Amino acid sequence: MKRRNLAVLTVVAMSVLTLTSCKKEVKETTEPTAVEEVTPTEVMADNSKNSLDWAGTYTGTIPCADCPGIDETIELKEDGTFKLVDHYQDRKDGHFEEEGKYEWDATGNKITLTLKDGSTKQAAVHEGSLLLLDQEGNEITGSLAENYRLKKQ
């Protein structure tokens, strides 16, 4: 019985050695491979631009230096255009509307809205919200920081 087990074990060991020592034939192809041009944001992992449902309307009330607040609405369209509506509370002539284009930054997480007068407004795009940024593109800090978040409707 022991000899039979030894014989079976020897056959199994030789089969394993034979299978692992076989070379796989690599067939060389003569057809050229197509190379696609890829932009930097496509190479990156998930970001706001490619993984969030960001198109839509965002609203909130942001701080105002000389009024109770500014009711702000930003509509981001998938075609790269936006509509901005600001309503200064308690002001008779405090309603402003503007349309223009926006661009994504290289990371795909922030947008820059270009206004008619050439000035810009920046925002970080988060799940279900836009966080308005300061003029240098940094998050606003301090006790009023969360007041600069517009929520998606």
**Residues 18-55: tens digit of each pLDDT:** 444 555 555 555 555 555 555 554 555 799 999 999 99
CA–CA dist 107, 115 (Å, integer): 22
Q: Which residues are CB-contacts of 105 (< 8 A; sequence separation ≥ 6)?
A: 111, 112, 137
In order of start, what are the domains of the chain with their CATH numbers?
56-152 (2.40.128.640)
User: Would you say 17 and 10 are in contact if contact means Cβ atoms under 8 Å apart?
Assistant: no
pLDDT tens digits, 101-151: 999 999 999 999 999 999 999 999 999 999 999 999 999 999 999 999 999
pLDDT band at residue 11 under the 50/70/90 scheme: very low
Global pTM value: 0.70
What is the average per-residue pLDDT within 57-69? 97
